[in-house]
Amino acid sequence: MKKKLTPFFLLIISAFLTISAQEYSFYDLNKENPGWTMVPGGNILCPPQKTSYGYAALCEGKSFAGFSEKGKLLWQKSVREKPSLFFTTGCGDTIWFISKSKKINLLNPEGQLLWTADCGFEVKENPLQGKDGRVFLRGKNDVACYALNGSLRWKKEIKDQNVSLPLGELNDGSILVFLSELENNKSKAVRITPFGEIKETILFSGEAVQRTVCQEGIIMAFTDGSAGLCTVRNGQSVSGWVYKNDAGGIPYISETVNDSALTGLVYTSEVVFLKSASGEKVYSVNLSGDKHLSRQNIKFAFTSGTDFYACDKENAFCLNQAGNLLWKARLPLKTTPFIFLTDSDYLVTCTSSWSVLGYRMQMGVSKKQKPQSKKRETAAYSCFYETVSPSDNITGRALSDTQIAEMEMFFSTEKKKNSDRDSSAKEAYYLSVLDAEITQILAESMVRDTGHSEIPYFRQNAAYTQKIINLASKTGLNVFQKKYVSLLRKTSASGDNLLLLSLVSSAGNFGLDTDGELLDALDYVLSKADLRDTSVLNSICDSVFKICNFMGKPMLLEKGRHIISRIMNGRYQQESRDYARSILEKIVKAGR
């Protein structure tokens, strides 16, 4: 005999299913109080850029501001040049911005201007930060590259570029420059090395309308509704995969952050998740009901880990791999020019009334947070380096005096003829040789002199070694700092005072000291230095000031003040104490 469920039990089951279906956090930002409020001096004019401390933003009144993920205004500085809306953050939280007068400007991490240079053309998008500290600029018909010291590395004329598709860095470090011209209704792009050498022109399988960068290369969306990966293997660009959706429509490609292995393709009624490396479909989620997402009005969409985060003009939400909502927020009715999500899950709205509001999004019953953003790693473009041998006692020196003079001129910021900047292989060769030489100098510093073996080349040729050390510090890139730190420490312990003086004197030329490792190494040198060696002590002071002035960060300024203050101790000679006092005054002034 069948038993019928009573209305009471049906009501209980219905209520249970309803609760289960809505097991996520919902926020109506028109009614919620923000977790924090920040009021910078003026409206934010374009999307803020991520930094290690939080974000940097361009504000009204020709000013930039830095603020934490929890809404603390850390600094705000005005600039002389009127900024355009194009800027990006780089190594060590430096800020590159383009001014209305077609100039590129570099600010230190605290917003102080370091230098300005004339681009010579109208820049059409945010500067693209390279892996080794350099930056790439693009106009309608030009692409250029600048180093951290303001040196123009190269400039190429590439006519009629498609500026609606930004520059993108492929997995090997080469740059894709999309062109406006179509060939048989298919997009084309020029692949160019970070040293300015044009490698090839690529013809894609269709007309590209969007692109996003992932670890494996560049993923593009095409007008026929397909998506595909362009990657580099064995020095050549290839198609990694192509994905076609039967539902049709042009997909919106989500960004991949925190090394997420998944890419989301947002179609009209669903989002499809693929493995970025292979294009294999992992799962899909129907975008209806509570999960509705207006593809035409997306403000952000990205994958982090296995979760998907998206926002249109009305709602923001987070989905897990099972397709379940973890949280959802209804956006304020008031105009919100820019909105983004922080690592600590604050949904941040930049209003048109000066205020910036942060709303904390809790992850439903799981209470989990997405993976934290990884620190931007710097690396040399070594796959484009040439194979060279360092100097040794058999073959002699690797660089002649003429070549050294050419390298000094190339790395300098002095204006030169265009022809001097149009040798793309030149910089790759220079860095290849310097890398081989510095590596060998470091290797020789680890070998003890027993008196029974042949004296290594660089120990026998101090003048040449000093020239190499000085050159490595003037590249304007973030490629030799780590080896330099090791050399400072090992040379200080070895007692090679001539090499030590050269290292200490040139350390400040780097300027960039992202983690304070150069300052720590100089502090170590000071602890080992002869109290009467005024040359080394004064050089420590000079280099400490150059680094502090370039970086500007309070933590590093404090570290610099500590190092200089030690030299003002009564144990040191009066000449050293007086010089240290004068440098300390300059550091204090730089921190204001």
Domains held by the chain: number: 1
Averaged pLDDT of the chain = 90
- What is the model's pLDDT at position 493? 86
Maximum C-alpha span of the chain:
106
- The predicted-structure confidence for 113-157, as pLDDT tens digits, reads as follows 999 999 999 999 999 999 999 999 999 999 999 999 999 999 999
- What is the model's pLDDT at position 418? 44
User: Which of 196-200's residues contact partners 24+ apart within 8 Å by CB, and which partners?
Assistant: 196/145, 196/153, 196/154, 196/155, 196/156, 196/422, 196/424, 196/427, 197/424, 197/425, 197/428, 198/156, 198/424, 199/174, 200/236, 200/237
Q: Which two tokens stand for residue 50?
A: 């991520």
Please state the rounded mean pLDDT for residues 157-176.
96
Residue 522's nearest CA partner among 567, 581, 582 is 567
Domain housing 477 = 382-591
- What is the model's pLDDT at position 302? 94
Neighbouring CB atoms inside 10 A of 350's CB total 23
State the Cα–Cα distance between residues 280 and 275, nearest whole angstrom.
5
Please state the rounded mean pLDDT for residues 508-520.
96
Phi, psi at 522, each rounded to 5°: -65, -35
pTM equals 0.92
Name the strands in the sheet holding 36-38, side by side, starting at the edge strand that comes first in the sequence: 36-38, 356-360, 346-350, 338-341
- Binning pLDDT at 50, 70 and 90, where does residue 375 land? low
- DSSP code of 158? -
Strands annotated E in 69-178:
73-78, 83-89, 95-99, 103-107, 113-118, 128-129, 135-138, 142-146, 152-157, 168-169, 175-178
534-551 and 517-528 are packed helices; what angle lies between their axes, rounded to 10 degrees?
Answer: 160
Question: Is 504 inside any structural domain?
Answer: yes
Phi, psi at 276, each rounded to 5°: -60, -35
- The predicted-structure confidence for 270-290, as pLDDT tens digits, reads as follows 999 999 999 999 999 998 888
Q: Is residue 372 over pLDDT 70?
A: no
Q: Which two tokens stand for residue 138?
A: 């693009």
Helix ranges, 234-378 (H): none
Question: Is 558 inside any structural domain?
Answer: yes
- The predicted-structure confidence for 197-230, as pLDDT tens digits, reads as follows 999 999 999 999 999 999 999 999 999 999 999 9
Question: Is 439 inside any structural domain?
Answer: yes
Question: Is 529 inside any structural domain?
Answer: yes
Neighbouring CB atoms inside 10 A of 383's CB total 14
State the Cα–Cα distance between residues 204 and 196, nearest whole angstrom.
22
- What is the model's pLDDT at position 322? 87
Cα 123 to its chain centre, rounded Å, is 19
Yes or no: say if 372 and 343 are a contact pair by the CB < 8 Å rule.
yes
Judged by average pLDDT, the poorest of 26-30, 363-367, 575-579 is: 363-367
Question: Is 289 inside any structural domain?
Answer: no
Question: Is 377 inside any structural domain?
Answer: no
- What is the model's pLDDT at position 455? 87
- The predicted-structure confidence for 83-124, as pLDDT tens digits, reads as follows 999 999 999 999 999 999 999 999 999 999 999 999 999 999
Q: Give kind and range of the element (H or E) at residue 347.
A: strand 346-350
Question: Is 394 inside any structural domain?
Answer: yes
State the Cα–Cα distance between residues 109 and 93, nearest whole angstrom.
5
| Residue with the larger pLDDT of the pair 496 and 419 | 496
- Binning pLDDT at 50, 70 and 90, where does residue 413 land? confident
Question: Is 301 inside any structural domain?
Answer: no
Q: Which two tokens stand for residue 7?
A: 């209305």
